[in-house]
Chains A and B, each alone.
Chain A
């Protein structure tokens, strides 16, 4: 972070520091955990929230955008909802509190609060780098979440759904998940809001995929129109590990979803597929970095963004290829439909390459609906609004269809169609 000397603190910064003083007595964990929290908060206090002068926050001036921080509300009430895919194992976090009843069999699960209390979590509570504001806020305030280990060779038939239901106040959760060698699983990370009250939700997921693990991780973010959502997924891919990460943003007022990964084993493959459905006054930022650290690893990233109303969208994607990471194949695409003159979209797709025998590329487009496509449909008697909806749907549906699970595809398509109907 650039030198940001102590300037007057904003309301949100003050609220965060005050919240810490108010909550620290009851936050789980002592000793090393407590001192890790203290360090993170001290850094937050000293550096403040990032402005656009901080390169990785260039398009999301958090200091200006995060106006207020709702106080932690211990009385807030939220209930579990039905899982997206019937038959899934559900692990719910309700207003930041993990529900430890009926934990699924076959995998090792415990609440993150336990991990904080016995001090194991202390090692997690660090910043990725100078600019890691999400890690800093989450690490200071984290209360709960789930710590999961999927034992070697486990193949889960049904998805596991992390359900984060929020009604008011703040929630700060963590999900350290280790997938043993040759495991197969689908995980759904779902963020819901059940009231109109403003909430601040932060979540950090740390994924480790051992040799040959094949994992599909789906993030479906549907928070309320006044919520702030700061999320981070970190992953480490071992030899021949495959991770498919789907990120669907369809809610929230201020959203920053960070994805940071490294490939540490040869043959690792990463796929990022993103859909950003942005309407109203949302500011949604997807920031992605991937380090190809060893030879022979591959990655593809495809993002589809649709913007209505006064929405602001950001995509920053950085692919780094380390000096010895020969035979890297990395491709990134970011396609945007800008459907309103009051909306705006900024993209920064970056390549940072230190090896020569590589194939790397990125593409970015910003465009309105193609008038000839529209004409084609209208000429066939389809009314304009319907024709537009069809085209937008087709634009994002390509991503959804890459999931193999028919039931899941249908559910997501229904959610997307409903969102488009509301905003188009």
Chain B
């Protein structure tokens, strides 16, 4: 059909060159020497004034990492990473810990301004209608500023960079760090445990509903660096927190590594909502450059009736290897995973989730929407399993793929493991292109092709978009628009 061909052509034209966050900023940086060794880890730990136990924890992880092999099971292809060519630590020079926003390098502030991230509280307050969001901005290896700290403190919420938390709340960090994703978990998580440089720490005490959305904005800027952030979020009994994460990087023709670990802990009746809009640089038209995104995200529904919900919009990165998971340990706990994965150009996505049902009466829901265009490969890989004692586990999984163009691939690899007769698992997956019937239906009603395709694609991802916090939903819709511009008008 001509209209469909037109869409394909337009998508091809637009490709990934439209990456609008691809600028680079020259800021004087403080870097550790290239490569990875015990000395580098000691250097990072010293830079952050960490206590001894933290250094030991890192070194132990490093020793473990040396014995591990890089995983090869995912459907992604890339040349072997030379870990000795990466800077594991890079920080803007002017930050011996800024005490207020005025201490931050104005160049840095301009970066975030350019990205549309509000870091000045007063500015945010000035705009009456803008919803207030507390932001932790992470630039390469360090957190440069965290906003609304004082106001959050009044509510009892701790929101700060993890380096600060290690210094200021060592007991809390010690109690929870590595309890969801142990240092022995997998190749990249173990690497992260050894070298993580910053990230966010959130602690919402018993009974507190976090008064505003929390957000972290990650930016890789420096050439040749890897970003290894670690996020730890704890919601005590009956607490609630919604956390957003965004990320961008400059356009470069080298591949940069991003290996993060995110750990969530929800105690009795607590709820954590974690949303990601991942927009790392995806590489150019020929597939040169782009971020390797190897991320371990896991939530532990440790308490009764706790709930963890993951929502992700994945549009960036050359390679995405990411499986936000839920361990449903508490009786009556619930896990959710909503995902939109858009791949264009030469991008490769292998993403999905794991729902591990351990407690009684647990339930989980997975909705995954993959859109593949260009010559990209888009894979959903997911696991749903019940423990033998996990009575009345309930899962619903839906994963749909949409193909735009005949050079891309969409794949579905679910693992369904039932170990208890009271389990009730439903899984369905479909793969198709934009249906000509749907298109015809719209055209016949006088809707132009462009708008019709926009309508259909929006309808395709609607279920997931609805799960995003409002201000992110808008950004996500725009992002999908940019990734597939031409087809979505």
Chain A residues close to B by CB (< 8 Å) = 55, 58, 323, 326, 336, 338-368
Contact = CB atoms under 8 A, between A and B. Distances in A.
A345 B425 CA distance: 11
B275 to A, nearest CB: 27
A346 B417 CA distance: 4
B242 interface: no
B408 interface: yes
Nearest to A369: B421
Contact of A366 (B73, B408, B410, B418): B418
Nearest to A308: B421
A365 B426 contact: yes
Contacts of A362: 412, 427-429
A367 B424 contact: yes
B414 A349 contact: yes
Given A357-B406, A359-B432, A365-B426, A339 B414 contact: no
A365 B409 contact: no
Interface residues of B, number: 34
A352 B426 contact: no
B425 A350 contact: no
B466 to A, nearest CB: 23
A349 B411 CA distance: 11
A424 to B, nearest CB: 13
Contacts of B421: 338-341, 343, 368
A353 B409 CA distance: 5
Contacts of B407: 323
A352 B413 CA distance: 8
B405 interface: yes
A351 to B, nearest CB: 4
B411 A351 contact: yes
Given A344-B419, A353-B403, A368-B422, A360 B411 contact: no
B401 interface: yes
A368 B425 CA distance: 10
A367 to B, nearest CB: 5
Given A356-B403, A356-B406, A362-B412, A351 B429 contact: yes
Nearest to B385: A346
Contacts of B403: 353, 355-356, 358
A344 B417 contact: yes
Interface of A is mostly: strand
A285 to B, nearest CB: 13
B210 to A, nearest CB: 37
B416 A364 contact: yes
Contact of A354 (B409, B426, B429, B433): B409
A358 B431 contact: yes
Nearest to B381: A350
Nearest to B380: A351
A361 B429 contact: yes
A351 B412 CA distance: 5
Given A340-B421, A346-B417, A356-B406, A351 B388 contact: no
A338 B391 CA distance: 13
A366 B423 CA distance: 7
Contacts of A343: 421
B416 A350 contact: no
B432 A360 contact: yes
B430 A361 contact: yes
B416 A360 contact: no
Given A338-B421, A348-B415, A366-B418, A355 B406 contact: yes
B406 A348 contact: no
A6 to B, nearest CB: 18
A2 to B, nearest CB: 9
Interface string B423-456: 1111111111100000000000000000000000
A361 B416 contact: no
Contacts of B95: none
Nearest to A336: B418
B173 interface: no
Contacts of A338: 418, 420-421, 423
Contacts of A345: 417-418
Given A336-B418, A340-B421, A364-B416, A349 B429 contact: yes
A344 B409 contact: no
Shortest Cβ-Cβ A-B pairs, 8 listed: A356-B403, A366-B418, A361-B430, A366-B425, A364-B427, A351-B412, A347-B416, A360-B431
B381 to A, nearest CB: 10
B266 interface: no
A186 B392 CA distance: 43
A365 B430 contact: no
A363 B416 contact: no
Contacts of A350: 411-414
Given A345-B418, A364-B416, A352 B411 contact: yes
A362 B407 CA distance: 22
A323 B423 CA distance: 38
Contacts of B411: 350-353
B433 A365 contact: no
Nearest to A331: B430
Contacts of B428: 361-364
Given A351-B429, A356-B404, A362-B428, A346 B73 contact: no
B12 to A, nearest CB: 13
Given A346-B417, A350-B413, A352-B409, 6 more contacts: A326-B406, A344-B418, A353-B409, A361-B429, A366-B423, A367-B424
B431 A351 contact: yes
Contacts of A353: 401, 403, 409-411, 431
B427 A363 contact: yes
A238 B411 CA distance: 26
A55 B433 contact: no
Contacts of A55: 73
21 contacts: A323-B407, A338-B421, A338-B423, A343-B421, A345-B417, A347-B416, A347-B427, A350-B412, A351-B412, A352-B409, A353-B401, A356-B403, A356-B406, A357-B406, A359-B430, A359-B432, A361-B430, A362-B428, A364-B414, A364-B416, A367-B424
Nearest to A333: B428
Contacts of A348: 413-416
Contacts of A354: 408-409
B425 A367 contact: yes
Nearest to A365: B426
Nearest to B435: A359
